[in-house]
Homo-oligomer: A and B are copies of this chain.
Amino acid sequence: MMQDRHILLAHGNGGRLMRELIDAVFVRHLGNPWLDADADAAAVPLGGTELLLSTDAFTVQPLEFPGGDIGSLAVNGTVNDLAVAGAVPLYLTLNAIIEEGLEVAQLERIVASMAGAARAAAGVVVVAGDTKVVRRGEGGGLYLATTGVGLRSHRAPPGPAGVKEGDRLLVSGPVGDHGIAVLLAREEFGLSGELASDCANVLGLAQALLPLPGLRFMRDPTRGGLATVAHELSRASGRAVALDQAAIPIRPAVQSVCDMLGYDPLYLACEGRILAAVSEDDAPAALAAWRALPEGREAAIVGAVRAGRPGVALRTVLGGERLLQELEDDPLPRIC
């Protein structure tokens, strides 16, 4: 049962309130054996084979930002959900809701960027689409939604249920880049910077880990950042997760902006990273496999699954430990 009578921005932030909304409204009425609100992609039988399906809407503002735009985000976001589920993306569908008055030249840049991202993502192609135009004042410039269809390339990782005490948590690169890049691009804070979104497909990173027998779980930390995925893992596995703050890669410039403006990079979106849970035995191989890739050069082991009650603890740089809360409010709406 929803506590709130009206939808709040926080219902879209990837955290607790959004989970409540999804469970209380969407899963309640639409629930069926294949609908798993906790999974990145759905695996469904079709015509003698198994299809993987994933979908996302994109409402990022501004539409273009250093390192990407809503178009490349729309391709990579959906491709990445298929990638971490162990699939190769084959086809995309695309919905565009355009606000009256949008500059055609901007739309063209965004669609061209989408095409480039698709080519880079195993040549995934857009095979169906729809366009709607809404009145000025009833849209956010441009909203996109993509659905991806893929086939498994590897046995699926067992997921949170397969996570064990002693497993290691790895992240493929610095966190919070996307969130900060979008924030700065809004030009509300008068800061310039060379910070760019990490918007990219994670197919190479995923494919590097999928053959490892000790791979338990992978997810791309988008809305709500690393902390949110850590919470999802803890909740779904029923296990305690501990993160080591000093080990988490964060670009110094990202940390500076966060310090200045009061954001915690652990809650800021990434759009080209993977958080993985890997057995203690396979963790070194996983790290090496990632560091061998250009996009994984800064990969790191950032924590572990340990004994104790579910929850996420952060060992701070000062050596103490505190509980990392689940995201409540939305630090940055329309981030992806």
Contact B26 A132 (CB under 8 A): no
- Residues 28-71 of A, flagged 1 when their CB comes within 8 A of B and 0 if not, give 11101011010001101011111101111111010000000000
Q: Known contacts A47-B47, A125-B35, A139-B140; decide if A133 and B8 are in contact (CB<8 Å).
A: yes
Q: Known contacts A111-B29, A127-B44, A143-B97; decide if A103 and B149 are in contact (CB<8 Å).
A: no
User: How many residues does chain A have at the interface if contact means C-beta atoms less than 8 Å apart?
Assistant: 85
Q: Which of A92-149 contact B (CB under 8 A)?
A: 93-105, 107-108, 111-112, 114-115, 118, 125-135, 137-140, 143, 145, 147, 149
Roughly how many angstroms separate A170 CA and B139 CA in the complex, as a whole number? Answer: 37
Interface of A is mostly: mixed
Q: Known contacts A104-B7, A140-B138; decide if A126 and B93 are in contact (CB<8 Å).
A: no
Contact A12 B53 (CB under 8 A): no
- Comparing A17-25, A189-197, A265-273, A305-313, the segment that makes contact with chain B is A17-25
Roughly how many angstroms separate A103 CA and B7 CA in the complex, as a whole number? Answer: 6
The copy count of this chain in the complex is: 2
Residues of chain B lying within 8 A (CB to CB) of residue A137: 137
Flag whether A334 is at the interface (Cβ < 8 A).
yes
Residues of chain B lying within 8 A (CB to CB) of residue A18: 131
Flag whether A11 is at the interface (Cβ < 8 A).
yes
Q: Known contacts A12-B131, A135-B333; decide if A125 and B57 are in contact (CB<8 Å).
A: no
Flag whether A2 is at the interface (Cβ < 8 A).
yes
Q: Known contacts A9-B133, A133-B9; decide if A42 and B145 are in contact (CB<8 Å).
A: no
Contact B35 A100 (CB under 8 A): no
Roughly how many angstroms separate A37 CA and B55 CA in the complex, as a whole number? Answer: 21
Roughly how many angstroms separate A38 CA and B237 CA in the complex, as a whole number? Answer: 47
Roughly how many angstroms separate A42 CA and B11 CA in the complex, as a whole number? Answer: 34
Contact A115 B29 (CB under 8 A): yes
Residues of chain B lying within 8 A (CB to CB) of residue A21: 131
Roughly how many angstroms separate A244 CA and B99 CA in the complex, as a whole number? Answer: 37
Flag whether A91 is at the interface (Cβ < 8 A).
yes
Contact B143 A26 (CB under 8 A): no
Q: Known contacts A118-B30, A126-B35; decide if A107 and B59 are in contact (CB<8 Å).
A: no
Flag whether A212 is at the interface (Cβ < 8 A).
no
Residues of chain B lying within 8 A (CB to CB) of residue A6: 100-104
